């Protein structure tokens, strides 16, 4: 774990229950200041419950959460001024014009930057007089991102920000985040199903599965230890175990400890894996 002063967000042993159902089971994570942490998981894995607790929107049944060095449940009112949020569903009154939405937002944040918001609107080609309900899904997300960044946050929470967006809109949104990171060094926590997009910006990856944080690791370390190994024949006898499946006339397996793996003589091909392929392997969708 990082030192307290180096940590933007720290959760220790967080458990969340809904009746007899355990939504989050003893989750511990640490997001370093200035980093990008991607929290991944299939629908129902517990991501949303954990994010709500991290933001102080619901109280965990067990464990502790410190946001920017302070207890999030006790100091939520003051902490939220230092946090920018882009929600999964970009929601605002459909008849409210973007300019009026900006004026409302600016009244809530003491560090509001009107020039930053206006400059980003121009770059997105969104006119202030446009009604929110007339914007496309991608434009609504762009407005939410512009609002969040104009509050001059120390921590930015992106809750599945590219959901429902086309390829061009997804690329544009992630490029905006990358630019902000380069310019201001803010900390980002992102939940997403766009694994290809987040792979270009994430420093650390957390994977939730059935309520548990089953993986929490630096992205480069993660990618260095996972390999897809293919064999020319099948079945393959492996001294150190492993699940093997058919691959053409041969077989293949995923190795999660590649640097320490004893490679059998029958190996035909070893290839690196993308974050998406690793995610599928970790969450049990393939051997």
Which pLDDT score is estimated for 164? 79
**Does residue 32 register a pLDDT over 90?**
yes
The domain limits of the chain are 4-218, 226-282
**Does residue 240 register a pLDDT over 70?**
no
State the average pLDDT over residues 66-80: 94
**Does residue 248 register a pLDDT over 80?**
no
**Does residue 236 register a pLDDT over 90?**
no
Which pLDDT score is estimated for 243? 63
Which pLDDT score is estimated for 241? 45
CATH architecture of 4-218: 3-Layer(aba) Sandwich (3.40)
**Does residue 98 register a pLDDT over 80?**
yes
* H helical segments located in 81-136: 98-106, 114-124
**Does residue 89 register a pLDDT over 70?**
yes
**Does residue 39 register a pLDDT over 60?**
yes
Q: Please tell me which residue, 1 or 165, carries the higher pLDDT value.
A: 165
Assessment of whether the complete model's pTM goes beyond 0.95: no
SS3 content of the chain, % helix, strand, coil (to 5): 35, 30, 35
Which pLDDT score is estimated for 242? 54
132: Cβ–Cβ under 8 A, 6 or more apart, which residues? Answer: 92, 93, 94, 95, 96, 97, 98, 101, 140, 143
Which DSSP category does 228 fall into? E
pLDDT per position as a tens digit, 169-194: 888 888 877 777 767 778 999 998 88
CA 31 to chain centre: 11
Q: Please tell me which residue, 261 or 272, carries the higher pLDDT value.
A: 272
Which pLDDT score is estimated for 154? 93
Which pLDDT score is estimated for 277? 92
**Does residue 206 register a pLDDT over 60?**
yes
Which pLDDT score is estimated for 234? 62
**Does residue 2 register a pLDDT over 60?**
no
């Amino acid at each position: 774990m990082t030192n307290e002063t180096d940590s933007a967000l720290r959760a220790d042993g967080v458990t969340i229950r809904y009746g007899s159902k355990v939504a989050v089971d003893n989750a511990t994570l640490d997001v370093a200041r200035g980093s990008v942490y991607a929290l991944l998981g299939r629908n129902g894995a517990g991501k949303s419950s954990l994010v709500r607790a991290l933001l102080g929107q619901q109280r965990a049944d067990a464990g502790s959460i410190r946001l920017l060095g302070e207890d999030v449940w006790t100091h939520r009112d003051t902490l939220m001024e230092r946090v920018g949020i882009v929600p999964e569903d970009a929601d605002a009154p459909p008849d409210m014009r973007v300019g009026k939405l900006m004026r409302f937002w600016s009244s809530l944040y003491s560090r509001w930057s009107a020039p930053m918001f206006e400059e980003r609107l121009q770059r997105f080609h969104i006119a202030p007089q446009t009604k929110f309900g007339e914007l496309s899904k991608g434009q609504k997300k762009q407005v939410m991102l512009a609002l969040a960044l104009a509050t001059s946050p120390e921590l930015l929470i992106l809750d599945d920000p590219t959901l429902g967006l086309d390829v061009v809109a997804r690329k544009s949104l992630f490029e905006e985040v990358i630019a902000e990171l380069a310019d201001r060094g803010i900390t980002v926590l992102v939940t997403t199903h766009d694994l290809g997009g987040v792979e270009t910006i994430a420093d650390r990856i957390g994977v939730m599965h059935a309520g548990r944080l089953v993986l929490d690791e630096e992205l480069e370390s993660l990618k260095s230890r996972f390999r897809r190994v293919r064999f020319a024949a099948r079945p393959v006898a492996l001294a150190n175990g492993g699940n093997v499946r058919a691959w053409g006339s041969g077989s293949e397996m995923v190795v999660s400890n590649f640097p320490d793996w004893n490679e059998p003589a029958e190996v035909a091909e070893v290839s690196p894996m993308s974050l998406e392929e690793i995610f599928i392997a970790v969450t049990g969708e393939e051997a």
